[in-house]
Each structure stands twice: as structure tokens, then as C-alpha cells.
A and B are shown apart, each in its own frame.
Chain A
């Protein structure tokens, strides 16, 4: 089991560019999440999904979009990148009924 994998590990974007952060889990988890973590801060929920075809907003969804076409994949799309989106992004997943979430290694994004 690879668990939760994320690509890329690092990325530098120019203001206004777009990109997709990839997240894949091989644990057959129903629930998947995207968080961002700014230096010295806790994790803030961006979007989450309770199953394929179902997504919902978290605390800080502005500037991001998601889709969930399969159980395994939950990509996060950044449109028109802004410096405020400089952060480390973590994907997580868990089984319905099992509450602990398992996290990927993160993607460090810099927007300049």
C-alpha cells in the first residue's frame, strides 16, 4: 500500500498561472480532503469529498476547485494563482465510519 500520494512535491507558479495538484489513495477510502498549511499555523480545510461525484466546500475554498470522478483520485485545481495561495497543500483520506484521517506528504507551492 502506497497510502496517500501527492504530486508534485514542489512547484513555483507565476501570478495568474493555473495548475492541478494531484492526490491518489489506494486504500479504498470513501472520504478525501484537501488542506492548506501556512507557516506556524494549523491545517485549514479547502474542500472535501464523501465519495465519487460528491464534493463540498471547507473553510477556505475561494480560488480553488475540485472534482472526484473516481474513488482513488481527488485533484485540486488552482485557477489564476495569487501570492496568497503560497502554502503547503496536504491531501488526506479516511474510511466512512473510521474517523482518523491519513495524510499525504504534501505539495509545497510558491506563487511569485
Chain B
């Protein structure tokens, strides 16, 4: 059974204070690892897909990396508008279904 564990559950940062969110996963065969951002009262918004160990993707202040056991979402010099819950999900090679972690709630204080 696929498992996804995200840490920490919650993270408070000061504006400009860089940090990383972790997503550990167990899957029989990885087709893709996905990062989503979710704002309160809204649906998840797609950020990145990573397909193989060593892959990295960047978007503005966010960079996602992938190893064979975990993924990191690095946030560089965050701003208050980066405050949201960040969700990680895995998809195994045998199907289209996603297994989600419970998310990390990020708060960036001005």
C-alpha cells in the first residue's frame, strides 16, 4: 500500500527566512510525485510533478527535489503570500490514482 508522510505538520517562518518541507513516500513503483498548494476554502492548485530521483523543478521562490525515498519543497526568501497548505502526492506506475499526504501548513509572517 502506498504511503505518504509529510513533515512538519505546521511551519511558521518570518518573511525572508528560507526553509524546506519534507515528503517521505513508500510506493511499489513511482510514476510521479506531485506537489500542490491549497489556500483556505479552495481546491488544491498544481505546482510540480517529479518523475525520477535527482530531478528538480523550480517556480518563483519554490524548488522541488526528489530522491528514491523523499521529496523536498524548498522555499527561498518566502513572502506572506506563500502562506498555504502544501500537499504532496504519489502516483504508482500501475494506475492513475494519487495517494496524498496530510499536508504542511505554512505561515509566513511579515
Contacts and interface: CB of A to CB of B under 8 A. Distances in A.
B69 interface: no
B97 A105 contact: no
Contact of B46 (A40, A100, A104): A100
Contact of B97 (A42, A48, A100): A48
Nearest to B42: A105
A43 B6 CA distance: 13
Interface in A24-66: 31, 33, 40-45, 48, 50, 58
B25 interface: no
A103 B43 contact: yes
A41 B44 CA distance: 13
Nearest to A40: B102
A110 to B, nearest CB: 15
A102 B97 contact: no
Contacts of B9: 40
Contact of A100 (B34, B100, B101, B103): B34
DSSP majority for the B interface? strand
A104 B46 CA distance: 12
A102 B46 contact: yes
Interface in A68-112: 90, 92, 94, 96, 99-106
B45 A42 contact: no
A50 B97 CA distance: 10
B101 A42 contact: yes
Contact of B43 (A41, A90, A99): A90
Nearest to A97: B96
Interface of A: 4, 31, 33, 40-45, 48, 50, 58, 90, 92, 94, 96, 99-106
